[in-house]
């Protein structure tokens, strides 16, 4: 049972983002701003020349901001800040799913990249219909696997066998999130395959 | 597999996002509503007066004149320290040893990841569907876990690869004597792009 929980935790951590990159960026910016403000304050107390702007200047600028800036510019800056805030909030609250998913197995936790699944599905579908490489492309989305087939011109396409191969393949993977397979046949055919 | 504190990352990012949203809303209001611009200025000058009053209390000799600016600098440095701590909490947890057992006075036994890595490479070298493997061990709250990364040939079935990996791990289990949690990652990489696709059989 504990083994099971451990494996589930491993899968969860592998298929979801840790938000390390945004955290590193934000923490670095915060660190720089705090250090800069501290340095400016020390220089100001010692009556030394400021690095960029002394705390007194920063205060004056902040208080006089609405008076010294055109309203449109102020609004635009506010919108920019708001978008940045929404972005951070979205990263924090969002699901953070990565393009990979878990495959059922008893002893180990297995996580497969979506593009590996797509390549495998393309290859099986192609072999099932007897098509040439490049005539089948697959896209793996959140809950669907879409197979796009470009049939050979003048040769009838065995759509049922592709569908069976696709369903069999997806059933064999037993992915942790249910996916539905869809086959789409392109209008134009490939010539001379 | 890394020991990043994910809950902390989400909470801190959410807090900073809310602060930025609030600041953005205040700036937009100051830009669009004429009354808010005046309120902004009055609040600003009021705060300035209060800070000046505060700074005249608790005086100390020397250039600083008061304890309050010194305390302010202390708070800024504390903020810098906390940011550095957040930065340092990202990642980590990789370990070169998979298992370790102390046998009292007789010494201790250490199983290195390199041993498993060599065994896995040896076992999979004949497998045409596996282009490259890498093995690493990571410390987690539940003990040390093994991570096996397999680079799949273009078009090879992940089910077959997962079954191969499972078989391999069972062999490692019987070899080590006690099972460790294993994560298998089946990916595509540089080798996938440069090697050809699987041949039709």
Q: Which of B53, B88, B123 is the last residue of a domain?
A: B88
CA distance B118 to chain A (A): 20
Q: Which of residues 67-86 of A touch B (CB under 8 A)?
A: 67, 69, 71-86
Asked if residue B26 and residue B101 are part of one domain, the reply reads no
In this complex, do B159 and A65 lie within 8 Å of one another by their Cβ atoms? no
Span B7-49, pLDDT tens digits? 999 999 999 999 999 999 999 998 888 888 888 889 988 998 9
Distances (CA, A) of B128 to A134, B49, B92: 22, 76, 33
Asked if residue B177 and residue B152 are part of one domain, the reply reads yes
pLDDT at A8 over 50: yes
pLDDT category of residue A136 using cuts at 50, 70 and 90: very high
Cβ of residue A93 closer than 8 Å to a chain B Cβ: yes
CA distance A168 to chain B (A): 12
Which residues does chain A have within 8 Å of residue B197's beta carbon, measured at their own beta carbons? 123, 133
pLDDT for residue A2: 63
DSSP string over B111-123: EEHHHHHHHHHHH
Return the residue of B nearest to A35 by Cα: B80
Rounded to a whole number of angstroms, the distance between the first and last alpha carbons of chain B is: 37
Distances (CA, A) of A63 to A97, A126, A157, B97: 43, 68, 73, 58
Which residues does chain B have within 8 Å of residue A86's beta carbon, measured at their own beta carbons? 17, 21
Asked if residue B84 and residue B150 are part of one domain, the reply reads no
CA distance A192 to chain B (A): 20
Asked if residue B173 and residue B82 are part of one domain, the reply reads no
Which residues does chain B have within 8 Å of residue A42's beta carbon, measured at their own beta carbons? 73
pLDDT for residue A1: 47
Q: Which of B1, B91, B159 faces A173 most closely, judged by CB atoms?
A: B159
Q: How do the pLDDT tens digits run along chain B, 201 residues long?
A: 788 889 999 999 999 999 999 999 999 998 888 888 888 889 988 998 988 888 888 777 777 778 888 889 999 999 999 999 999 999 888 999 888 888 888 888 888 999 999 999 999 998 888 999 999 999 887 789 999 999 999 889 999 999 999 999 999 989 888 888 999 999 998 877 777 776 544
Read off the CATH number of the domain in which B173 is found: 3.30.70.1350
> How far is residue B12's CA from residue A89's CA, in Å, rounded to a whole number?
10
pLDDT for residue A28: 97
If one counts the domains in chain B, the total is: 2
Q: Which helix (H) or strand (E) holds B40?
A: helix B34-56
Q: What is the mean pLDDT of chain A?
A: 90
Cβ of residue A109 closer than 8 Å to a chain B Cβ: yes
Q: Which of B70, B88, B106 is the last residue of a domain?
A: B88
Domain span at B53: 6-88
Coil/strand/helix, residue B45: helix
Residue B11 included in any domain? yes
CA distance A47 to chain B (A): 8
Residue B172 included in any domain? yes
Q: What is the ipTM of this complex?
A: 0.85
In this prediction, residues A14-23 reach a mean pLDDT of 93
Q: Which of B88, B121, B138 is the last residue of a domain?
A: B88
Asked if residue B57 and residue B105 are part of one domain, the reply reads no
- How is residue A88 written in tokens? 């951070």
DSSP string over chain A: -HHHHHHHHHHHHHHB---HHHHHHHHHHHHHHHHHHHHHHHHHHTTPPPSS--HHHHHHHHHTHHHHS-HHHHHHHHHHHHHHHHHHHHHHHS--B-SEEEE--SSSEEEEEHHHHHHHHHHHHHHHHTPPTTSEEEEE-SSEEEEEE-PBTTS---HHHHHHHHHHHHHHHTBSS--EEEEEE-SSPBS--
Query: Is 0.90 topped by the overall pTM?
Result: no
Which residues does chain B have within 8 Å of residue A169's beta carbon, measured at their own beta carbons? 157, 159
In this prediction, residues A37-44 reach a mean pLDDT of 92
Asked if residue B102 and residue B183 are part of one domain, the reply reads yes
Span A101-130, pLDDT tens digits? 999 888 899 999 999 999 999 999 999 988
Residue B1 included in any domain? no
pLDDT for residue B201: 45
Which residues does chain B have within 8 Å of residue A46's beta carbon, measured at their own beta carbons? 63
Cβ of residue A171 closer than 8 Å to a chain B Cβ: no
Asked if residue B169 and residue B105 are part of one domain, the reply reads yes
Asked if residue B112 and residue B66 are part of one domain, the reply reads no
pLDDT for residue B152: 92
Q: Which of B44, B84, B154 faces A63 most closely, judged by CB atoms?
A: B44
Asked if residue B103 and residue B188 are part of one domain, the reply reads yes
Span A144-153, pLDDT tens digits? 999 999 988 8
In this complex, do B87 and A62 lie within 8 Å of one another by their Cβ atoms? no
Which of A23, A37, A140 to mutate to test binding with chain B, by most B CBs within 10 Å of its CB? A23
CA A147 to chain centre: 22
pLDDT for residue A193: 64
pLDDT for residue B199: 57
DSSP string over A151-173: PBTTS---HHHHHHHHHHHHHHH
Asked if residue B155 and residue B82 are part of one domain, the reply reads no
Cβ of residue A25 closer than 8 Å to a chain B Cβ: no
In this prediction, residues A169-175 reach a mean pLDDT of 91
pLDDT for residue B134: 93
CA distance B30 to chain A (A): 6
pLDDT for residue B106: 85
Cβ of residue A22 closer than 8 Å to a chain B Cβ: yes
> How far is residue B92's CA from residue A150's CA, in Å, rounded to a whole number?
47
Asked if residue B74 and residue B118 are part of one domain, the reply reads no
Residue B201 included in any domain? no
pLDDT for residue B34: 81
In this complex, do B27 and A11 lie within 8 Å of one another by their Cβ atoms? no
- B38 φ, ψ to 5°? -65, -45
């Amino acid at each position: 049972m504990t083994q099971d929980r451990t494996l589930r935790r491993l899968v969860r951590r592998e298929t979801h983002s840790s938000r390390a990159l945004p955290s590193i960026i934000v923490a670095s910016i915060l660190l720089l701003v705090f250090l800069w403000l501290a340095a400016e304050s020390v220089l100001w107390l010692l009556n030394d020349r400021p690095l960029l702007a002394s705390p007194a200047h920063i205060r004056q600028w902040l208080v006089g901001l609405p008076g010294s800036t055109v309203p449109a510019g102020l609004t635009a800056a506010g919108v920019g800040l708001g978008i940045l805030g929404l972005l951070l909030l979205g990263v924090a609250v969002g699901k953070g799913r990565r393009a990979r998913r878990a495959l059922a197995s008893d002893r180990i936790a297995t996580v497969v990249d979506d593009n590996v699944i797509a390549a495998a599905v393309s290859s099986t579908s192609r072999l099932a219909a007897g098509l040439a490489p490049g005539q089948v492309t697959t896209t793996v989305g959140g809950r669907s696997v879409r197979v796009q087939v470009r049939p050979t011109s003048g040769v009838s396409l065995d759509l049922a066998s592709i569908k069976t191969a696709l369903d069999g393949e997806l059933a064999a993977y037993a992915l942790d999130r249910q996916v539905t397979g869809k086959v789409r046949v392109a209008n134009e055919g490939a010539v001379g395959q | 597999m890394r020991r990043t504190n994910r809950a902390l990352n989400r909470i801190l990012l959410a807090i900073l996002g809310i602060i930025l949203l609030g600041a953005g809303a205040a700036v937009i209001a100051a830009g669009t509503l004429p009354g808010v611009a005046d309120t902004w200025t009055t609040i600003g000058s009021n705060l300035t007066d209060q800070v000046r009053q505060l700074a005249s209390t608790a005086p100390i000799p020397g250039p600083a004149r008061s304890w309050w600016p010194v305390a302010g600098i202390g708070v800024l440095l504390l903020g810098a320290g906390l940011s550095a701590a957040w930065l340092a909490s990202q990642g980590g947890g990789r370990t070169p040893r998979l298992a370790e057992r102390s046998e009292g006075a007789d010494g201790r036994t250490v199983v290195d990841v390199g041993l498993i890595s060599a065994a896995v490479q040896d076992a999979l070298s004949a497998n045409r569907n596996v282009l490259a493997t890498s093995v690493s061990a990571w410390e987690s709250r539940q003990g040390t876990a093994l991570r096996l990364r397999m680079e799949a040939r273009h078009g090879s079935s992940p089910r077959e690869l997962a079954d191969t990996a499972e078989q391999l791990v069972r062999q490692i289990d019987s070899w080590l004597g006690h099972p460790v949690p294993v994560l298998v990652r089946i990916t595509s990489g540089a080798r996938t792009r440069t090697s050809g696709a699987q041949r039709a059989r």
